[in-house]
Structure 1
Amino acid sequence: MTALTKERNTPERLNKRCNDPMAAAVVIFAGALVVLDASGNATKGVTGTGLTARGVAMATVDNSAGAAGAESIETEKGTWRFENDGTDTVDRTHIGGTAYIVDDQTVAATDGTGTRSAAGKIVDVDDLGVWVEIA
């Protein structure tokens, strides 16, 4: 491509919602923390490394009988409240730091000695859970 020589109408994307192909043999429930695996396919949040937090599932999608990419799921970025891990508990001293994925509804304060992927930035902690910004 060459540099512009006249005005261009450049498309804009708000980048709040995404739609991704799903990993094989997975069911993701509405409200679940969704991640992208090493292949770039959406799957539910689990303890593991190399995962990229994508957002929260907008609907339940069942790809339990399908191959990778047979179904797609819509996710939304933003600040969401997740369950606080009972052993590696996030508290108010962690605000501004990183929350780490335990499962599709739970986050922890640390990476579990290199076994957990980042969920996002800890925005707040209350009696009901941990508010995490997935950007």
Structure 2
Amino acid sequence: MLSADRNTPRRDGVNFAHPVAAAVLIFAGALVALDAAGNAVPAGTAGSGAAIGVAQAVADNSGGAAGDINVDVRVGTFRFDNSAAGDLIARTDIGATAYVVDDATVAKTDNAGAREAAGTIVDVDDVGVWVRVG
């Protein structure tokens, strides 16, 4: 219980820095996920979880140990490449979950549990799929 004023730190909840996994290169604009150890990897990497945001700059830890560098990640709504064939996302899918194919592509299905969530589909246009990530 406070008995005096407290300077309570605040975040806007859109920008975060995460330690990068060992021997990993994350490109700017890539969907980012965390591995089992809590280190950032490109989304869609084997063993990675759901997407947590988009890399704001390149993070090249290809020659380093886990946590040697951080990647700046932003949450929000971003446009990604649409999958193809039966996994193509359509306007009728707005409001549903998009799933990670790779660090730049999303799909309509989780491929029988093989894909992690990217976020919520908010729009589909001729260029790609707008997904709310994080």
TM-score by length of 2: 0.92
- How far does residue 11 in structure 1 lie from its aligned partner after superposition? 2.0
The residue number in structure 2 matching 1:129 is 128
Task: Tell me the C-alpha RMSD between the 2 structures.
Answer: 1.5
- How far does residue 10 in structure 1 lie from its aligned partner after superposition? 2.4
Q: Is the 8 A contact 2:36 2:47 kept in 1?
A: no
Q: Look up the SS of the partner of 2:37 in the other structure.
A: coil
**Residues 1-135 of structure 1: matches in 2 within 5 Å?**
3-46=1-44, 48=46, 51-87=49-85, 88-135=87-134
One-letter amino acid of the counterpart of residue 93, structure 1: T
- How far does residue 48 in structure 1 lie from its aligned partner after superposition? 4.9
Q: Look up the SS of the partner of 1:102 in the other structure.
A: strand
CA distance in 1, matches of 2:116, 2:47: 5
TM-score by length of 1: 0.91
CA distance in 2, matches of 1:19, 1:42: 9
Deviates more, 1:122-131 or 1:8-17: 8-17
Structure 1, residues 8-40: CA drift from partner, whole Å, max 9, x if none? 332221011110100111111111111111111
Deviates more, 1:53-62 or 1:118-127: 53-62
Q: Look up the SS of the partner of 1:127 in the other structure.
A: coil
Name the CA shift for 1:46/1:37 in 2 (closer, same or farther; >3 Å).
same
One-letter amino acid of the counterpart of residue 72, structure 1: N
- How far does residue 5 in structure 1 lie from its aligned partner after superposition? 4.0
- How far does residue 121 in structure 1 lie from its aligned partner after superposition? 0.6
Unpaired segments ≥5 residues, structure 2: none
Query: Percent of counterpart pairs with the same letter?
Result: 55
